Chain A
Amino acid sequence: MIELHGIRKSYQSGAQTLEVLKGIDCTINKGELVAIMGSSGSGKSTLLNVLGLLDDFDGGSYHLDGNDMGGLGEKQAARYRSEFLGFVFQSFNLIGYKTALENAALPLYYQGVSRKERQKQALHYLTKVGIADWAEHLPNQMSGGQKQRVAIARALIANPRVILADEPTGALDSVTSDEVMGLLKEINREGITIVVVTHENEIAAQCDRIIRLKDGRIENPQAQHHV
């Protein structure tokens, strides 16, 4: 599903060039639940941004479901994000003035789906993540766990091939974290590839495989399919 070869990425900060990703080779198969771990500054968030087409890369190649993601324009990137990818963020990133239902439905708006169909789909996915009763509530009326469930429903609604989760439990207590991870595993069992960036071992342990990053390189390239 995801094939990375020699991905490099650097940032220009003043006169210095900061190399964040120094050649990442990695393959993630369809249906896998993979954790990316690493200390802060290891490049894991940058890698996730590259995977999510939120940021471009300087060298190497990236194939997503067989499509070359090199040198995409903003418009194409937006299209791939819309159709291939779902995002779950640490800080939820729900839109504050939209209800849970409207938040979950938003990706379909950008695909030109009719309002009625969007609402139907959104309600379906809110039900799936167990939060249908809160459909008409605004984000600030909900707990962190509830907000993350809305975000997961939003990530699922466009029927993506890959869900990218950036510290999905980072803002949650341990009980809620387990619930959210349980939900992600359930989604994974239905066949959707999931990549979780985390620094928590308990979370990473629940995944099929752990990719450890250190100083912009994969620390354990041999660690394939250790579960």
Chain B
Amino acid sequence: MNKRQGNIRWRPDWDGFLELVQVLVQRPLRTALSGLGVGWGLFMIIITIGSANGLQNGVSQDLGDRAKNSMFMWTQSTSKAYKGFQRGRPIELTIGDVEYLAANSQTLDAVAPQNQLGGWRGSNNVTRGIKTGAFTVFGEFPAQLKIEARPLRSGRHINDRDIEENRKIAVIGERVREILFTSDENPIGGSVRINGVNFTVVGVFGSLRSGEDAEEDLQSIRIPFTAFNQAFHRGDDVGWLCLLFNESVHADSAAAEVMSILKSRLSIHPDDDRAFGHWTVAKEFEEIQTVFSAIRGVSFVFGGLALLAGIIGIMNIMLITVRERTNELGVRRALGATPGVIIRQIMGETLLLTVLFGLVGAILGVASIEAIDALLESMPAMDGGSFRNPEVSIEIVVQSLAIMIAMGAIAGVLPAFRAVSIRPVEAIRTE
């Protein structure tokens, strides 16, 4: 008669699962409402993290073509009197200064001075026959390409011979080509007039950047630095410097070295911080990284709070459920359910609820992120601005699910122990 005795145990089997499902299905509205909180929490986590990643991808792409160890430097006015010079003296760089810098620096791999003509909303300055356009014209050195990469579409880039021989040649952006040349014309060998001076086109380039930045690149013309200064009467003047420092050196120390060399040559007070302005990609990159880890942290916290609210909601619902089912739980106890079995049942219900709706939230979140991604991809004409490829890694999804399951387990503890604290006799009396 005691042969069944050894079988009194709960098995995590299909049978037990059906038992849980039956309980949840009998109150579909309550189940859905309590699950909604958890689903929403996970949905929010995935959406916010995905969006933060999208923003980061967008901003990274805006910087994309610039070498991380590059620096831009321009001159301003002094803010300290020094060696007989009054403060407020405008500083100007010449090719001689640049050569001195290149010769004396230990940290620089490339020095590329640049000059500029025309620019944003400038007047028409370039003509070809009856076609005209307003473009930004840069005088630059071949080293410029080490700092900002530019894909060649046809022809060639500027080379050292162009610089040495002051050749009047031009490499034009794709948009410039579209405006000044018809689609069946070969621009290579064609002639364009820049501020009244003729230049021969030797190449066409595209852009690695996106949106407005790309538009700016494609509407520019690059000519040799020496030819630029000769044609536009700039003498030895240098507008600003694009520098590439050694990757083993930190951006700050590279900047400090360059400044001190130029300050001593140009008789500027060593502590004068205003004489030069500079901007480094690495510095910018660091700042962006900091901002984005903060954004990710914040989204995790807020998503976590949403998840916590959902979990508390589930715990609350389960407590109500236990109270409502006092009689049923008492009957189950009378029919042979041990306290352990009751605990597992309530814990199981809580976990099933959490996991089920958590998964739904996660799937909807990932689907939404994918949908936004697909939408942005399908409209290349529309500039997503600094928002590109929103995405969540599988690790984030798995982590969120794991956190949620752990929290679901915690949420189940209180209701489960409340359920077994009811003595079977009291439970049956409730009716």
A residues with CB within 8 A of B: 49, 52, 54-55, 74-75, 78-79, 81-83, 87, 89, 91, 93, 95-98, 106-107, 109-115, 154, 158-159
Contacts and interface: CB of A to CB of B under 8 A. Distances in A.
Given A79-B5, A109-B15, A113-B4, A95 B331 contact: yes
Nearest to A157: B335
B68 interface: no
Contact of A79 (B8, B420, B428, B431): B8
Interface of B: 1-2, 4-5, 7-9, 11, 15, 19, 22-23, 26, 327-328, 330-341, 420, 423-425, 428, 431
A75 B332 CA distance: 13
Main secondary structure of the interface of B (DSSP, over half): helix
Contact of A93 (B5, B22, B327, B420): B327
Q: Specify which of B1, B4, B26, B340 lies most central, judged by the most chain A CB atoms within 10 Å of its CB.
A: B4
Contact of A54 (B7, B19, B23, B428): B428
Given A82-B8, A83-B4, A154 B15 contact: no
10 contacts: A52-B334, A54-B423, A93-B431, A106-B335, A107-B335, A109-B15, A109-B19, A110-B336, A110-B337, A112-B7
Contacts of A79: 5, 8, 336, 338
A43 to B, nearest CB: 14
Contacts of B5: 79, 83
Contacts of A112: 4, 7-9, 11
A168 to B, nearest CB: 14
Contacts of A87: 334-335
Nearest to B339: A74
B7 A93 contact: no
Q: Specify which of A79, A89, A112, A154 lies most central, judged by the most chain B CB atoms within 10 Å of its CB.
A: A112
A110 B8 contact: yes
Given A81-B333, A83-B5, 5 more contacts: A78-B333, A107-B335, A110-B8, A110-B332, A111-B7
A154 B339 contact: no
Given A82-B8, A91-B431, A115 B339 contact: no
Contacts of B11: 112
Contacts of A158: 336
A178 B108 CA distance: 107
A89 B4 CA distance: 25
B428 A107 contact: no
Nearest to B23: A97
A223 to B, nearest CB: 28
Contacts of B336: 78-79, 81-83, 107, 110-111, 158
A93 B8 contact: no
A87 B333 CA distance: 11
Q: Specify which of A82, A107, A110, A159 lies most central, judged by the most chain B CB atoms within 10 Å of its CB.
A: A110
B236 to A, nearest CB: 92
Contact of B425 (A49, A91, A97): A49
Nearest to A84: B1
Contact of B328 (A81, A95, A113): A95
Contact of B8 (A49, A74, A111, A159): A111
A114 B9 CA distance: 12
A-B pairs, top 8 by smallest CB distance, nearest first, are A82-B336, A112-B7, A110-B336, A97-B26, A78-B338, A54-B425, A55-B425, A107-B335
